[in-house]
Every structure is written in structure tokens, then in C-alpha cells.
């Protein structure tokens, strides 16, 4: 019986780019078992040796830069300028940063102990591999996000099974090829294609960790499965990011930043800006400016260097976007610019700005899956913060303001995992910065030291000299009780307590010390 195959089609024109063999759910355990078989040998390598493979993978990306650019433009529909600056260059940075900084983050750490209670004990913390990590990725970010997740797991000493979105299958194949070119042990990285049944079989299989990026609904289901099986999870379920333009902001900068953060990647990145709340001083100027900026963006062939916005990934996204925008307009919102475009087989949508969106519209509660920005005036800082904090998602937010200290104070009041002042990062392009949200935006962090520590199991190891007898061991006596009381009072912040401890506890302390020394000589 012939294997089922998955077609990879370009969102630009629907052209067939290739086919991929689907892994049926009953074949997933074999892929996990293969990675698990190789993983102990990989884990036995020193951290700096594993890091060398990542450096070689970075070089492989550089060597194949032009081919990868062409592939990602065709498979994702993202403009080539964004593919280079938001996908390929960040992946190179991530691999090199992990190779350079990862061994320090995951290296053994000495832990200090109280010499009063543990006079001879030494302690260190090591970080052990988990086993096999499952990485499930979205279609809107087909390269740097999954490649980085794979690299983090590998540096931690784990095997990996990668399951890409059906819109990113060819990119995933090239990720596997990059690591193969780097000399990664055969079988350590497994690639399985398929739908929801294949993904579920992987999550329920013998994997120790699940790293998931996708919708909030799917993320909740993944989290429930993993919680029942005590599996470590990192879940990124996207956001409904807000942009706050407040008193003293550089309005021109805020306009340019909002247009980029809302419409880059056709508004499909997890942290794309969806809502803008603008103070009274800048409301009209900002609104007019962002409408003008949206109209000026060039929608077209993503292979052209001058194209600013490409197509949506799927026609389903276009239909969902149309439903959200039409509902808002019917309820009284003003469509200032943008909307659906009919350009052949692709799912085209012009950058859209809406104003006057009524409170009951779903656009306030659901993140539009495309380049749509809702702009609303607010009376001031307090209303802007309150409205930005509405909803269950809390991935990122940006505050555009002149005063740094005021900006930091506002950042603490925003219910978001990340807050940027005078900028907005719609995707995890900085390898040293933790990426993740709160609430319905997920659990855990991707990138940075936090992601590395999530890919390993901390293990405490202590050592005592064989000739030492801990004072806390049996047998107990009155001298030990008095000595313990004296030690506690010697730590008091009051002078009289310490003086009392010295007067009443000197003899018991001496007796316990002498007894400990005698025991050490006997042993």
C-alpha cells in the first residue's frame, strides 16, 4: 500500500512545491524509539563538543542562504527581505549564541552552604538531559522558531522529534538537512509529517518534553495531555498584543513601529500588534499616520525585494479575517483602509486599519489572523493599561513614551510576558532574550537561558569527607540542644541576643565541637 503523501503548495499562487510522506500515528513510536536509542551517546558528549555541531549548523545555513531564501519565500509567502532579516539571520544568531553561551548556562554550578550547619559539605548543581523532546511548530514561522527549539533541545543533550505544520513541511526538511550537514549523529533528530492524529501520538508517546507553538485551543489540549503524564512543557499559544502611545511619545517613530509590528509577516507572527491605544495628545496624528503608512505598503510578489507584504498562508485565514472585519464594520466600525484582494489563487489581504470598533466586536477578544490593526483613543495612561490588560492572552505589549522610568513602571502594570519600550518585536528573533507570555499565551519561555534550563533536569550532588561526623546525627543530648539554641541566637539582629548566646552557649558549643573532632579522628 502506497504511503499517504502531503502536498506542499505555495500561498503565492497555489503552485505545487513538493510532496511529503505522512507518518501515520502508529509509526510515531518507532521514530521516538530511534531518537531515544541514539540520545545516550549524544548526552555523553561534553557541552562544548555538542556546541561545535551547532556552529557547523550555522555555517550550513550560511552556505545554503540563497536556496533557503527562495524556498521560504515560496513556501511561506513572506517577503524576501523579511525571510533574511526575520528568519535566516536570527537562526544563525541563535545557533552561534547557543554554541557560545550555552555551555556556560548549562555547566555545573557550585552552591554555597551555611558552614554553621554544614561545616564540611560541598554541593553542586548539574544539568542532565531529559531524553527525547517533541517539537511542534507553526506555519507562520517555519524556520528560525523550530530550528531554535531543536537546537536548544540538542544542546541540552536530548534527542528530538520534529513535527512541522503542514504549511512548513519543506522548511522542516531543510532544518533536518542543516543538522545532517553539521554531522549530527544519524537518528538523533527525527522528522514526522502529519496532521492532528500524528501530533497527538507524538505528545502521548515516550517523550520527556513537549515544545509547542500554535493556537491557544491546541496549546490547551497539549498542556492537558502533558499534565496528566507529568511531562515538561513549553507552550507558546500566541497573543493579542497591544501598543500604547502615551504622553511624550515620539509619534512619528510610533507610527512607523506600529505599521511594521502590525503588518510584517502579513500580521501572522505570534506577537503581531493587533490593538493600538493612543493618548489624547497624539490620537488623531497617530491614526492618520498609521493609515497613511498602511496604504503605502506594497502588497505583491514576495520574491521581489521591494515587496512589503505577501499573501496569507491559507485561504482559511482569509475567510476568518473577512468574518472578523465584516462583523466589526456591520456593528459600526470604520474601515479606514485595506481589506481582501483578489489576485489569482493566493490569499491576499491589504494592510487594514479599523477605527471606532464597538466593544462587543470579536476583534477586541480574538487576534485577527492577518494584517489588521484596531486603533482606539484613550483618555490617558490608566485607561490604556486597563484596556491593554483585557482578555486572556498576555504575550507582549509595547509602550511608546519619552520617560524611561515611567515606561518601566507601566511595564510592571501590564499583564504580559514581554514589554518593549519604543519598539515591538513580533517574533523571537533575539536568541538571548526569553520569549513567552502569561495567561492564555502559554507556559514557559523559548530562547535565552530560561529555555536552556527548561531542556534539562537539574540534579543536586553533594559530598562530605569520610572522616567527618555531622553534628545532627544520633545520639542526641542536652549539649546539642543548647548548642543549637546558641547558634540560632548568634544570628539574631539584636546585640543582646548575641551576647546572651555567647554567655550561655559557649560551653555547649565547645562540647559539640570537641565531640565532632574526636569522632573524625576515630573514623
Highest mean pLDDT among 38-52, 210-224, 492-506: 38-52
In this predicted structure, which of 18-32, 65-79, 107-121, 357-371 has the lowest mean pLDDT?
107-121
Which pLDDT does position 451 carry in this prediction? 96
pLDDT for the residue 521: 63
Res. 116 pLDDT band, cuts 50 70 90: confident
Quote the pLDDT of residue 422: 97
pLDDT at 138 over 60: yes
Q: Is the pLDDT of residue 516 over 80?
A: no
Which residue ranges make up each domain of the chain? Answer: 27-237+450-459, 248-426, 478-522
Q: What is the mean pLDDT of residues 415-428?
A: 93
Q: Kind of pairing, strands 442-443 and 232-236?
A: antiparallel
pLDDT at residue 495 tops 70: yes
Tell me: domain 27-237+450-459, CATH 3.40.605.10, correct? yes
pLDDT at 241 exceeding the cut of 90: yes
pLDDT at 522 over 70: no
What rounded mean pLDDT belongs to the chain? Answer: 94
The pLDDT value given to residue 117: 83
Residue 109 CB neighbours (<10 A):
12
Long-range contacts (CB closer than 8 Å, 24 or more residues apart) made by 204-207 = 204/229, 205/28, 205/29, 205/32, 205/134, 206/29, 206/32, 206/33, 206/36, 206/131, 206/132, 207/32, 207/131, 207/132, 207/133, 207/134, 207/161, 207/231
The torsion angles phi and psi of 265, rounded to 5 degrees, stand at 55, 30
Mean pLDDT of 178-182: 98
Report the C-alpha gap between 349 and 341 in whole angstroms.
Answer: 5
Q: 325 pLDDT exceeds 80?
A: yes
- Dihedral sign for Cα atoms in the order 84, 88, 92, 94: positive
Whether residue 265 is predicted with pLDDT greater than 60 in this model: the reply is: yes
Percent of the chain with pLDDT over 70: 99
pLDDT at position 1 is 57
Separation in Å, CA 134 to CA 164, 175, 201, 300, 511? 11, 15, 11, 36, 58
Share of the chain above pLDDT 90, in %: 87
Predicted confidence band at 512 (pLDDT cuts at 50, 70, 90)?
A: confident
Average pLDDT over residues 334-342: 96
Task: Enter the pTM of the model.
Answer: 0.94
- Grid cell 502521548 is found at 204
4 DSSP assignment? P
Predicted confidence at residue 473, as pLDDT, reads 87
Residue-level pLDDT at 368:
94
| CATH of region 248-426 | 3.40.309.10
Closest CA to 377 of 257, 251, 287, 249: 287
pLDDT value of position 270: 92
- In degrees rounded to 5, what are phi and psi of residue 309? -135, 130
Average pLDDT over residues 394-405: 96
pLDDT at 169 over 80: yes
Confidence category of residue 326, pLDDT binned at 50, 70, 90: very high
Per-residue confidence at 2, pLDDT binned at 50, 70, 90?
A: low
Q: Give the list of residues 6+ apart from residue 233 with CB closer than 8 angstroms, or none.
A: 209, 210, 211, 212, 222, 223, 226, 227, 443, 444
- Name the H helices within 331-380: none
Q: Is the pLDDT of residue 523 over 60?
A: no
**Residue-wise pLDDT tens digits, 448-489:** 999 999 999 999 999 998 877 788 888 899 999 999 999 999
Condensed to tens digits (0 to 9), the pLDDT of residues 212-239 reads 999 888 999 999 999 999 999 999 998 9
- Model pLDDT, residue 426: 84
Amino acid at each position: 500500500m502506497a504511503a499517504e503523501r502531503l502536498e506542499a503548495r505555495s500561498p503565492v499562487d497555489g503552485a505545487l512545491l513538493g510532496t511529503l510522506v505522512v507518518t501515520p500515528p502508529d509509526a510515531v513510536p518507532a521514530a521516538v524509539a530511534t531518537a531515544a536509542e541514539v540520545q545516550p551517546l549524544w548526552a555523553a558528549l561534553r557541552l562544548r563538543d555538542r556546541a561545535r555541531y551547532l556552529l557547523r549548523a550555522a555555517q550550513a545555513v550560511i552556505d545554503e542562504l540563497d536556496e533557503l531564501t527562495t524556498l521560504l519565500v515560496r513556501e511561506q509567502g513572506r517577503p524576501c527581505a523579511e525571510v533574511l532579516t526575520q528568519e535566516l539571520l536570527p537562526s544563525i544568531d541563535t545557533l552561534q549564541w547557543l554554541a557560545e553561551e550555552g555551555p556556560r548556562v548549562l555547566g555545573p554550578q557550585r552552591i554555597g552552604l551555611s558552614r554553621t550547619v554544614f561545616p564540611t559539605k560541598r554541593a553542586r548543581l548539574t544539568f542532565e538531559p531529559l531524553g527525547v523532546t517533541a517539537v511542534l511548530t507553526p506555519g507562520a514561522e517555519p524556520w528560525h522558531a523550530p530550528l531554535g527549539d531543536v537546537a536548544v533541545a540538542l544542546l541540552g543533550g536530548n534527542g528530538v522529534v520534529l513535527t512541522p505544520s503542514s504549511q512548513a513541511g519543506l522548511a522542516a526538511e531543510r532544518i533536518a538537512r542543516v543538522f545532517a550537514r553539521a554531522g549530527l549523529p544519524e537518528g538523533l533528530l527525527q522528522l514526522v509529517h502529519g496532521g492532528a492524529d500524528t501530533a497527538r501520538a507524538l505528545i502521548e508517546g515516550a517523550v520527556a518534553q513537549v515544545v509547542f507553538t500554535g493556537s491557544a485551543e491546541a496549546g490547551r489540549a497539549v498542556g492537558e495531555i502533558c499534565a496528566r503524564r507529568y511531562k515538561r512543557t513549553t507552550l507558546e499559544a500566541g497573543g493579542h498584543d497591544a501598543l500604547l502611545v502615551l504622553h511624550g511619545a515620539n509619534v512619528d517613530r510610533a507610527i512607523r513601529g506600529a505599521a511594521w509590528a502590525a503588518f510584517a509577516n502579513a500580521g501572522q507572527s505570534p506577537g503581531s500588534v493587533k490593538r493600538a491605544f493612543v493618548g489624547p495628545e497624539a490620537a488623531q496624528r497617530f491614526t492618520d499616520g498609521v493609515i497613511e503608512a498602511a496604504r503605502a505598503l506594497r502588497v505583491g510578489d514576495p520574491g521581489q525585494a521591494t515587496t512589503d507584504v505577501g499573501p496569507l498562508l491559507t485561504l482559511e485565514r482569509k475567510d476568518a479575517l473577512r468574518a472578523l472585519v465584516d462583523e466589526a464594520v456591520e456593528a459600526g466600525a470604520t474601515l479606514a483602509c485595506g481589506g481582501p484582494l483578489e489576485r489569482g489563487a493566493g490569499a491576499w489581504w491589504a494592510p487594514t486599519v479599523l477605527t471606532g470598533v464597538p466593544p462587543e466586536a470579536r476583534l477586541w477578544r480574538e487576534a485577527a489572523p492577518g494584517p489588521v490593526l484596531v486603533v482606539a483613543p484613550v483618555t490617558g495612561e490608566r485607561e490604556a493599561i486597563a484596556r491593554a490588560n483585557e482578555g486572556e492572552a498576555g504575550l507582549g505589549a509595547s509602550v511608546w513614551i519619552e520617560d524611561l522610568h515611567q515606561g518601566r513602571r507601566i511595564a510592571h502594570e501590564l499583564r504580559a510576558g514581554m514589554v518593549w519600550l519604543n519598539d515591538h518585536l513580533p517574533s523571537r528573533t533575539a536568541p538571548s532574550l526569553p520569549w513567552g507570555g502569561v495567561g492564555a499565551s502559554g507556559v514557559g519561555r523559548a530562547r535565552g537561558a530560561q529555555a536552556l534550563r527548561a531542556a534539562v533536569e537539574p540534579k543536586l550532588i553533594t559530598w562530605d569527607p569520610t572522616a567527618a561526623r555531622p553534628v545532627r546525627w544520633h545520639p542526641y543530648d542536652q549539649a546539642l540542644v543548647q548548642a543549637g539554641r546558641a547558634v540560632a541566637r548568634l544570628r539574631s539582629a539584636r546585640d543582646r541576643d548575641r551576647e546572651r548566646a555567647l554567655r550561655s552557649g559557649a560551653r555547649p558549643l565547645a562540647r559539640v565541637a570537641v565531640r565532632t573532632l574526636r569522632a573524625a579522628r576515630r573514623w
